[in-house]
Amino acid sequence: MIHRRWFRRRKPQVDCREVGRVLQSYLDDNVEPGFAGKIAAHLDECKKCGLEASTYTEIKRSLGERRPKVDGEAIERLRSFGSKLTDGRTPGQ
């Protein structure tokens, strides 16, 4: 979670520079709620920053859709392998 001491300067709003520094964290829901509200307000008011946020969001969504499907059997083999390692067994056993 991002905590910004520099934000506590009693500024009523954030500017483009401040939003640019934390935009990725904001889009990942990784900023303090009060600060997130100020960023959201700025994104609503600032066409440039709002467009940048929309572009990043669309890129993340698009990449998520292109993720290959993983076979359930492969996942089970990986879990079994991990369990053997954590139990101190050789994976071939």
Q: How many residues does the chain have?
A: 93
What are the C-alpha distances in Å from 51 to residues 19, 40, 46?
12, 13, 8
In a domain, 22, yes or no: yes
Structure tokens at 93: 């056993």
- Provide the 3-class DSSP secondary structure of residue 2: strand
In a domain, 59, yes or no: yes
pLDDT: which is higher, 91 or 63: 63
In a domain, 1, yes or no: no
Q: How many domains does the chain have?
A: 1
pLDDT given at position 66? 80
- Is the separation of the CB atoms in 32 and 3 below 8 Å? yes
Range of the structural domain that residue 12 is part of: 6-86
Q: What is the pLDDT of residues 37-53, one digit of tens each?
A: 999 999 999 999 999 99
In a domain, 92, yes or no: no
**Confidence band for 91, pLDDT divided at 50, 70 and 90:** low
In a domain, 93, yes or no: no
In a domain, 32, yes or no: yes
pTM surpassing 0.85? no
Q: What is the CATH number of the domain that holds 72?
A: 1.10.10
pLDDT given at position 11? 56
In a domain, 30, yes or no: yes
In a domain, 48, yes or no: yes
Q: What is the pLDDT of residues 49-73, one digit of tens each?
A: 999 999 999 998 888 788 777 788 8
